[in-house]
Structure 1
Amino acid sequence: MQTERVTFLTTPDHKAALDAFAASNGMSVGHVVREATSRYVVEGDMTEDDRFKLLIHELDEALPAMHAALDAAIEGQQRLRADIDARLREAGLLDAERVA
């Protein structure tokens, strides 16, 4: 694929927001801008049905990462609770029979 460079000027706050959004979504700023401009250009020609199909596709793409993040958060909370319970038991503040 042949590419060409596009440059645009923005405020420092907007650039920081782009950087933060891209980083939090595991993308480059260039990828975010390409996706956003592609949607902007295409959206004008889309029917409502097409927009819903695009939204469903995006959700299908995003859900596995969301599920993985939630699973990781749950596992982290379970480990934290087990660690807290162990420390409370060591301090004699929790019955040894308590199940987390």
Structure 2
Amino acid sequence: MQTERVTFLTTRDHKAALDAFAASNGMSVGHVVREATTRYVIEGDMSEDDRFKLLIHELDEALPAMHAALDHAIEGQQSLRADIDAMLRDAGLSEAECVA
């Protein structure tokens, strides 16, 4: 996808609100602005069915990355658990002793 730069001016308060919203939702400000403008431009001409189709398409595109992130998190937790178990064994402790 070829991209182009768009610049707009806003107040400090609006920029701070954009930054906070983006950060709290795990997105960049650019992503928030793209999403908002896309909805603003498209939704005026779309039927409800078309909106649902667009939403399904966006979810279909997002799900592989979400699954990969979850798989990575699970692998990290499993690795951490194995490291902790090994440290407990090396220290001569059992898991039952540590829980009590």
TM-score range for the pair, normalised by the shorter chain length: 0.7 to 0.9
Partner of 2:8: 7
Within a 5 Å distance, the mapping from 1:1-80 to structure 2 comes to 5-10=6-11, 11=13, 12-20=15-23, 24-25=26-27, 27=28, 29-80=29-80
RMSD in angstroms over aligned alpha carbons? 2.7
For the residues of structure 2 that align with 1:94 and 1:2, how far apart are their CA atoms? 56
RCO higher in 1 or 2 (8 Å CA, sep ≥ 6)?
Answer: 1
Structure 2 residue runs of 5 or longer lacking an equivalent are 96-100
Structure 1 residue runs of 5 or longer lacking an equivalent are 96-100
AA paired with 1:72? Answer: H
TM-score normalised by length of structure 2: 0.73
